[in-house]
Amino acid sequence: MNDSALLTVDGAIATLTLNRPEQRNAMSVELLEGLHERVGELETATEVRVVVLTGAGRAFCAGMDLKQVIIDDGADWAGARLLESLARLTLRVRKLPMVVLAKVNGAAIGGGCGFSCVADVSVTHADAKLGFPEVDLGICPAVVAPWLVRKIGVGPARRVLLSGGLMSGAEAHTIGMVDHVADDRASFEALADSIAERLSKGGARALQATRGLLNDLDGSLDEGVLLRGAALSAEVLATAEAQASLRARLV
């Protein structure tokens, strides 16, 4: 079994943990495969009312595993596959019949930050670092852009994605990229637990009907746009400029 993603279920609350703490839970092909498997289990988990997405260790998710997206002559390039896998994963998470809480326990960067935007509700702490530094690295955050647009609106998303860089959890809360913020790491766990507990109290049919309608209204189920985003992101990632920038970063 692929243990880079863990699923635990406690009554109505399921926790899906990105489990590559030494790599700050960077999304590798294996991690994404693990997440797909665990989300597959959730699709039929009829007793679960809330799924908590979180990261093992101090980070939530550092984004794409850059080592796997550098083109190495002679080896099979994982970049395009990885991006498509992420695109399909976000859609599967959004389609789940239960409410999804992103428990952003620490750094949520690039694809990791985008993954948190797929959740219905998110919580972090004031000192966490979040954001989309893709353009700084010469790459294009096309897969996560639709999710950020739905989360904060087109105007703010334009500024965030084109400015690159990172922001604090407190700033992310101010612009609506996260919904709840704890003052510090010490009070974060209790806040996240109380939100998960509250979200788990919803009636199954009411949850599903509400989420289904919201997905319908905001175009969440548009697979085409996500796959086009994955293709665009892969195209930019394969350019000499992006590859040189990533190599320089990893040396």
Partner 1 sequence: MIRVETQGAVRVVTLDRPAKRNALTVSMLASLADAMRVDVGVRAIVLLGAGSVFCSGFDLRERVAGDDLGALREQLRRLADVVSIMRTGAVPVVVGVQGAAVAGGCALLGGCDVVVAERTAKLGYPVLRLGISPAVTAPFLRAAVGDGACRAMLMDPSLISAERAERIGLVHELVDGSEQVVTRALAIGKDLASKPGVAVASTRRWLETLATCSDATRSRAMQASLDALDDETTRRLEEQVWQR
Q: Rule CB under 8 A: is residue 209 a binding residue for partner 1?
A: yes
| List 11, 40, 165, 176, residue binding partner 1 (CB under 8 A) | 176
197 is catalytic: no
Within 179-198, which residues bind partner 1 (CB under 8 A)?
Answer: 179, 195, 198
Tokens matching residue 211: 């989420």
| List 213, 221, 244, 248, residue binding partner 1 (CB under 8 A) | 213
Close Cβ partners of 53 (under 8 Å, ≥ 6 residues apart): 16, 18, 93, 100, 101, 102, 103, 115, 116, 119
| List 142, 151, 172, 237, residue binding partner 1 (CB under 8 A) | 151
Close Cβ partners of 214 (under 8 Å, ≥ 6 residues apart): 220
Q: Rule CB under 8 A: is residue 121 a binding residue for partner 1?
A: yes
Q: How far apart are CA 205 and CA 23, in angstroms?
A: 39
Structural element, H or E, at residue 52 = strand 50-55
For partner 1, which stretch binds (CB under 8 A), given 53-61, 62-70, 137-145, 150-158? 150-158
What percentage of the chain's residues is helix, strand, coil (to nearest 5)? 50, 15, 30
For partner 1, which stretch binds (CB under 8 A), given 66-74, 78-86, 137-145, 174-182? 174-182
Q: How far apart are CA 17 and CA 3, in angstroms?
A: 10
Enter the DSSP assignment of 23.
Answer: G
Nearest approach, Cβ of residue 60 and partner 1 (Å): 18
Q: Which of 134, 189, 197, 223 is catalytic?
A: 134
Nearest approach, Cβ of residue 204 and partner 1 (Å): 7
| List 136, 170, 212, 227, residue binding partner 1 (CB under 8 A) | 212
Q: Rule CB under 8 A: is residue 103 a binding residue for partner 1?
A: no
Cα end-to-end span (Å), the chain: 32
Cross-strand pairs, 104: none
Task: Give the binding site for partner 1 (CB under 8 A).
Answer: 99, 117, 120-122, 150-153, 174, 176, 179, 195, 198-199, 201-214, 216-218
